[in-house]
Chain A
């Protein structure tokens, strides 16, 4: 089978550098400014509502004595899920030698970091007394040696997420080093060059450097791989280890991991479709890349659908009346609209991707990816709110309506995400140049053959000079 190239336009390594550095090196466009202004404004509105919550209390949300979590934890799980695609693409696909990942991994990893930052807001903010948030950390203290409860899944969350963020950040930064060196080499003298020189850690592009780099990258990929599974597994334990019908299910870990990959892929697709258009990177993120991602999404969608079916089946099969009621209530009760939104977004919409012709229609794919993002947010909402609002004692059944503050906080998290992503696109290469160069030639294998920095790069001693 003749190998179809992943990068179009017969690029040379120099051309790759030119293409990818161009959007960073030229002044921002009006479109960028407009997008930045919009997302920063939304971020500001979100920040204002967060400040209001901090000063006034959690009462500014629509929660009540029965529904103790709603938008807060929904948003948290949603953003953690979004974060999953980055690690999946950069680590697991790397280990599986998937060449196409090179075009998207940088952005996907950046997205992971930003999504985890967005996610991290909510567990802090949802606390009644966030100023004591550090009490969830196990450290020796003077408060009578008060310790944390290792039995609580919330504590496992703290560890899982902080580990995940640390590893993802390290992985992302490590991947950036050769590209930062390239940019350093292209930059004129001055602050920019100094900064890039500092962060590229004196990268020389020697064979020795490459050898060490590749080993470190492989090791980190191996280290990050279990995290793809563990983080969302642990997040799912928040629910699975409880006694609340609708939460207390053993299927949650694989179900949550599949859902996370699903939503993460959809978000990567959303961002990449926009980015390649705006930044003129169609040759690097080709229709074929999109096609591959659509196929992954279709696969994971089927897994998620299977999980929905399994849950429903077990609810009936278990003979547990409370469990059974929760599922009937989800499907027919007052919040049935949320359940059916979830099913139609997450299970029905991706079925379009069975057809190659539809996978090729970028507008349609973009719309579908947005729909899936919405659907995955609703999945978490359904799990959290419909389980809580009608549990064991009918006397305590209640409903839930979000407050303006909650909606603004959710919007603000999107504002933060896009603001950070726009800054990323502005200041760092959105595509891993070094890695893309590795797959330019059919013979070249990603990661196996080191790709040198462009020939026009300065000599090694100049690099060192840049650092010092």
Chain B
């Protein structure tokens, strides 16, 4: 083969030149003629000595390793150790809250609300805060799966395209099953993808379905839409089993609005009134001014009576046929109607029931009150829920009948979160081609032939339009950790024209969003400013909603008659109503593999790592149940579930409540969530999952998914399952046996009524007595940090708890440790019950280190590991702490947390979510709230760098930042103009346990409820 000639280009081929024609060197290199190739001993030793010395010397330094390449030119925005914030949109749920992503050294660490965002107004809920941990989940898929085995994208694309071509040739049917999609681009992409098939359809559902609410507007207004709710405009709010502050549709948006209506500002003090009807103790009910406990059916009946009463007043012709009897005193209900009527146009009636009749009655009430286009906006509706249970039902029928050739599940897990999961499983198994976009193996993707894992939302470009007229973007903040691909890109690949997601989004925006912009400017300007801000407001096409059609109300159908096959008798154990609900933080369970959310105590029950069947104390004693007794719930459909019992004050006697979203695939791994030791118990038994999946019990026959199931029988199994909670029932009222006078209560939470408050702003509060001191007091010459928590604003939603955990590297300790009362939360929300007129009141009190001026912890430490700073901070020095725990014993607020074990482990992917500004604590040291000292320092340095004084509000601890209702205010007490200084002079301001003269830096503002005859603070203290 000597004459075979290699050529590099055509020119070379044409003009072959001998190799020698172009010598390598301009002139031949000088060759030392005297160099003898044979190695003398001397030169061998020289060479050996040189190489050995060279090797030794060069190995002395630590050279650059791997792919680390130092930047010769530092990217402008990348300064090691300095955070960069990117505007984005939270993808935790479909609510579309604005999120700022904190990036340090190229990895996202924390999500915070965008203060200017029109929906979330700076707040971000626990789910959103926790979603950053999901990014660093080592159970995420790193590559696409084909028949359960990793494969390459090329192979996957080839196979799927082949299958799809076959389907489209034979005219087969293709379905995409997705949870609510608020992304305009994705929706358009799906539509164009499905158009390629003769029978292609998109089926949208919501596990926490609001289908009936949309359907009601379809039949009443001719527009299937979700009105945007404006709680801030509502003076009177009537809630009917709608947990709008906790889990319902868009809790951050609603909580921000709710808070805006209760600021106690102006004259007379502005505070909405909230009347709530519900069967179980929800977060929203706990915040209500008036709470009426009724079974789910009675709630619906009360709503019907109220709506008809209002319709009569408004002169709307609504037929009232055979209605069930009014479940509460008619006079009382008329009183509520009077209140609503008086607040016509700025009141709001909401119901969370997924029942057409109930939603129609709510629509009727709101129409009668003239609330549409005031507190409910149908012209600029919300897209946060789009699910259609009817379509879902027909999809299941189609799938079961084998009439679907290909099913794509996008952000959907029907085999776990929908009613009749077994039927879904069978249907999925029987469908020839199932493709899942799930980022991890879940119940549905486990059955799918192909899994095309989507990016984590923090890795991908995305766009959203959560409510009409508000578009937002999400930008990637980290290079994808695995070989994943955005669904948008996958869809484009399968239509034969694979394009990056960013191009697809920009193209869609250029054609569809940009023309709706407000103001002038080029597309690039519009796009850049939107990505920078995270959101943009655009114009909305004219509303298509018609006028309210009272004829939509079908009086003949008593509420939920279809779902109630059995005669109801609340007294009998066999006739309980089952209320299936979403737990705050866990929602429909899509984040059930997030340990932060699993360990987030339920705001009301304070239980972690489990779901359970809640019974009222009366029902429990009737059934002979104690906390932790395992009961078997059997629904009339034949479905049954065994769950531990929990006894919940303030619940309806005829109702048993169970949280959805548990018992999910993937939670088996939490078996070793906590420390392992001799007497330690695993968080879940080997092979078991966290909680039980209650989706089986959901009713889904004919109408929308029903979360209220009648005729459920309860039987004790005799087994026990211990529930771990962070706080027991202890109320501020001392146990009767131990009180020195009947009704002795502790003065920890103070509250009053709005009337009392309007008369006297210091109502319910008490003057602090001054204390004489033998010692010189601390002098704070510069700043003095302080905090105020408005108990009136705090809803107990627990966003701050997760924010604190994320910011301060608070470890997850597992169920057993929490059960041993060793939860590590620096910020906890204390929940106290109080009896009131036979009902149960709930108050929430965020409790954290109070940074006392006379701190009891500081004096007792033998090694000075806890110190007082010149700015009033109580500092814990971890590396000095020897762990005597004396400080924790001596803390009156029990705000200190001890590292009982080595909780943080090396070598976990989730360690990437650790905040490098905060020390990771080892075992044996004490820790506690620092007022986010790292943020204080950062802001101070920044101010110093810019040569200006610190501004009020510049420093926001993680808890204050995340709070959707702005209940926490932090600032410099020494600055007379600061908000905190003003709040400390507020007549509502008080300090917990001030009588100990520990002089806490944290104050609380008296809780004001909108109700008459609230006995001041006497109930709680």
Interface residues of A (CB under 8 A from B): 52, 56-60, 62-66, 68-69, 126-130, 132-133, 135-136, 146-149, 151-155, 158, 238, 241-244, 316, 321, 324-325, 328-329, 332-333, 388, 391-399, 403-405
B861–A64 contact, CB under 8 A? Answer: no
Chain B residues whose C-beta falls within 8 Å of the C-beta of A129 in the assembled complex? 881-883, 922-925
Complex CA–CA separation, A388 to B897 (angstroms): 15
Which listed residue (B675, B830, B882, B925) contacts A395, Cβ 8 A? B830
B740 touches which of A64, A328, A333, A404 (Cβ 8 Å)? A328
Q: Given that A69-B889, A321-B744 are known contacts, is A154 also in contact with B860, CB under 8 Å in the complex?
A: yes
| Complexed CA–CA distance, A399 and B728 (Å) | 11
Task: Choose one: A58, A242, A394; the contact of B730 (CB below 8 Å).
Answer: A394
Given the interface contacts A128-B882, A146-B880, does A151 sit within 8 Å of B859 by beta carbon? Answer: yes
A-contacting residues, B5-60, CB 8 Å: none
A235 to B842, alpha carbons, bound, how many Å?
42
Interface string of B660-689 (1 = CB under 8 A from A): 000000000000000101111000000000
Q: How far is the CA of A162 from the CA of B828 in the complex (A)?
A: 41
Give the shortest distance, in Å, between B235 (CB) and chain A (any CB). 33
CA distance A66 to B822 in the complex (A): 9
Q: Max chain A CB contacts within 10 Å: which of B728, B731, B862, B992?
A: B862
Residues in B with CB closer than 8 Å to A395 are 727, 730, 828, 830-832, 845, 847, 894
What is the CA–CA distance of A418 and B828 in the complex, to the nearest angstrom?
47
3 nearest interchain CB pairs? Answer: A128-B883, A128-B924, A59-B900
Q: Across the two chains, which residue of chain A brings its CB closest to B893?
A: A393
Evaluate whether A60 and B892 lie within 8 angstroms (CB atoms) in the complex, with A154-B886, A392-B993 already known: no
B899, A128: Cβ atoms closer than 8 Å: yes
Are the C-beta atoms of B882 and A132 separated by less than 8 Å?
yes
Give Cα A242–Cα B900 distance, bound, in whole angstroms: 23
Tell me if A152 and B861 are in contact (CB < 8 A): yes
Q: B728 and A397: CB pair below 8 A?
A: yes
**Which of A68, A325, A398 touches B738 (beta carbons < 8 Å)?**
A325
Residue of B nearest to A60 (CB): B677
Which residues of chain B have C-beta atoms less than 8 A from A242's C-beta? 856, 860, 889-890
What 0/1 pattern do residues 894 to 910 of B give for CB contact below 8 A with A? 10111111100000000
If the complex has contacts A243-B998, A395-B727, A395-B831, are A65 and B883 also in contact, measured as CB distance less than 8 A?
Answer: no
Is B738 a contact partner of A149 (Cβ separation < 8 A)? no
Interface extent on B, as a size class?
35 or more
Chain B residues with Cβ below 8 Å from A238 are: 886
Residues of B within 8 A of A (CB): 675, 677-680, 727-728, 730-732, 734-735, 737-740, 744, 746, 748, 817, 820-823, 828, 830-832, 845, 847, 856, 859-864, 880-886, 888-890, 892-894, 896-902, 922-926, 992-993, 996, 998
Using known A-B contacts A128-B881, A148-B864, determine if residue A65 contacts B923 with beta carbons closer than 8 Å: no
Is B886 a contact of A68 with CB atoms below 8 Å? yes
Contacts of A158 in B (CB 8 A): 862
Chain A residue numbers with a CB within 8 Å of B898 are 58, 63, 65, 68, 128
A-B contact pairs, 21 of them (CB 8 A): A57-B902, A58-B924, A59-B680, A63-B885, A64-B820, A64-B821, A65-B897, A68-B888, A128-B926, A129-B923, A130-B882, A135-B882, A155-B862, A158-B862, A244-B892, A321-B744, A332-B738, A393-B892, A393-B894, A394-B746, A403-B678
Q: Do B823 and A65 touch across chains, with their CB atoms under 8 A apart?
A: yes
> Given that A66-B821, A128-B899 are contacting pairs, would A152 and B860 also be in contact in the complex, using a CB cutoff of 8 Å?
yes
Report yes or no: B883 in contact with A59, Cβ–Cβ below 8 A: no
Q: Which residues of B contact A393 (CB under 8 A)?
A: 746, 748, 830, 847, 892-894, 992
State how many angstroms separate the Cβ of A433 from the closest Cβ of chain B.
43
The docked-state distance in angstroms from the alpha carbon of A322 to that of B121 is 42
- Cα-based distance from A149 to B746 in the complex (angstroms): 34
A-B CB pair tally, cutoff 8 Å: 191
Chain A residues with CB under 8 A of B828? 395
Specify which chain B residues have a CB less than 8 angstroms from the CB of A316 in the assembled complex: 740
Docked CA distance A128–B732 (Å): 32
Q: Which residues of A contact B817 (CB under 8 A)?
A: 59
A68 and B885 contacting across the interface, CB-CB below 8 Å? yes
Q: Which residues of B contact A60 (CB under 8 A)?
A: 677-679
| In the complex, chain A residues whose CB is within 8 Å of the CB of B880 | 135, 146
Determine the distance from Cα of A130 to Cα of B744 in the docked complex, in whole angstroms.
Answer: 43
Q: A242-B856, A325-B734, A394-B746 are in contact. Are A127 and B740 (CB under 8 A)?
A: no
Q: How far is the CA of A238 from the CA of B886 in the complex (A)?
A: 9
**Cβ contact within 8 Å between A133 and B830:** no
Give which listed residue, B860, B882, B893, B896, contacts A392 with CB less than 8 A.
Answer: B893
Indicate if the CB atoms of B886 and A152 lie closer than 8 Å: yes
Contact A64 B822 (CB under 8 A): yes
Question: In the assembled complex, which residues on chain B have CB atoms less than 8 Å from the CB atom of A404?
Answer: 678-679
Kindly list chain A residues whose C-beta atoms are within 8 Å of the C-beta of B922.
129
Task: State the CA gap A71–B623 with chains docked (Å).
Answer: 39
Evaluate contact between B889 and A244: CB separation under 8 angstroms: yes
Taking the closest CB of chain A, its distance from the CB of B707, in whole angstroms, is 31
Least Cβ distance of B840 to chain A in Å? 16
Most buried by B among A58, A68, A132, A325: A68
Assess whether B894 is in contact with A391, with CB atoms less than 8 Å apart: yes
| Distance in Å: Cβ of B386 to nearest Cβ of chain A | 41
Contact pick for B863, options A52, A135, A392, CB 8 Å: A135
Q: With a CB–CB cut-off of 8 A, which chain B residues contact A155?
A: 862
Q: How far is the CA of A214 from the CA of B914 in the complex (A)?
A: 68
B862 touches A149 (CB 8 A): yes
**Additional A-B contacts beyond A128-B925, A321-B740, A393-B892 (16; CB < 8 A):** A57-B924, A59-B822, A65-B823, A68-B898, A69-B885, A129-B881, A132-B882, A316-B740, A321-B746, A324-B740, A328-B738, A392-B746, A394-B732, A394-B734, A395-B845, A399-B821
Inter-chain contact A66/B881, CB cutoff 8 Å: no
A405 touches B894 (CB 8 A): no
**Contact in complex: A66, B679 (CB < 8 Å):** no
Q: How far is the CA of A403 from the CA of B740 in the complex (A)?
A: 33
Q: Which residues of A contact B896 (CB under 8 A)?
A: 65
Closest Cβ of chain B to A361, distance in Å, is 40
CB-CB under 8 A from A133, the residues of chain B are: 882
Cα separation A238 to B861 with both chains bound (whole Å): 11
Q: What separation, in Å, do the CA atoms of A37 and B925 have in the docked complex?
A: 38
Find the A residue at minimum CB distance from B730. Answer: A394
The 8 Å CB contact of A128, one of B679, B856, B885, B893, is B885
CA of A59 to CA of B821 in the docked complex: distance in angstroms?
11
Contacts of B734 in A (CB 8 A): 325, 394
| A316 CB to nearest chain B CB (Å) | 8
A149→B859 contact, CB < 8 A: yes
Q: Are B862 and A152 in contact (CB under 8 A)?
A: yes
Chain A proximity of B153: nearest CB distance (Å): 46
Alpha-carbon distance A132/B748, docked complex (angstroms)? 38
* Cα–Cα distance between A281 and B892 once the two chains are bound (Å): 54
Contacting pair A127 B888 (CB below 8 A): no
The residue that B678 contacts in the complex, of A52, A58, A69, A394, with Cβ under 8 A, is: A52
B731 touches A394 (CB 8 A): yes
Which among A58, A149, A399 is the interface contact of B883 at CB below 8 angstroms?
A58
Question: Which residue of B is nearest A123, CB measured?
Answer: B884
Question: Complex formed: what's the CA distance from A56 to B923 in Å?
Answer: 9
Q: Is the CB of B860 within 8 A of A241?
A: yes
Interfacial chain B residues near A388, Cβ < 8 Å: 889
| C-alpha spacing A155/B744, complex, angstroms | 39
Chain B residue nearest to A392 in the complex (CB):
B892
**Chain A nearest CB, measured from B879 CB (Å):** 9
The answer for the CA separation of A129 and B885 in the assembled complex, in Å, is 11
Q: What's the Cα separation between A391 and B890 when bound, in Å?
A: 10
List the A side residues contacting B993 at CB < 8 Å: 392
Name the CB-closest residue of A to B823: A65
**Closest chain B residue to A239 by CB distance?**
B889
Cβ 8 A contact of A65, one of B821, B845, B861, B992: B821
Check if A149 sits within 8 Å of B861, measured CB to CB: yes
- Which of chain A's residues have a CB closer than 8 A to the CB of B675? 57, 59
Which residues of the partner chain A approach B820 to less than 8 Å between Cβ atoms? 62, 64
Contact in complex: A57, B900 (CB < 8 Å) = yes
Tell me which residues across on chain B come within 8 A of A396, comparing CB atoms.
Answer: 727, 893-894
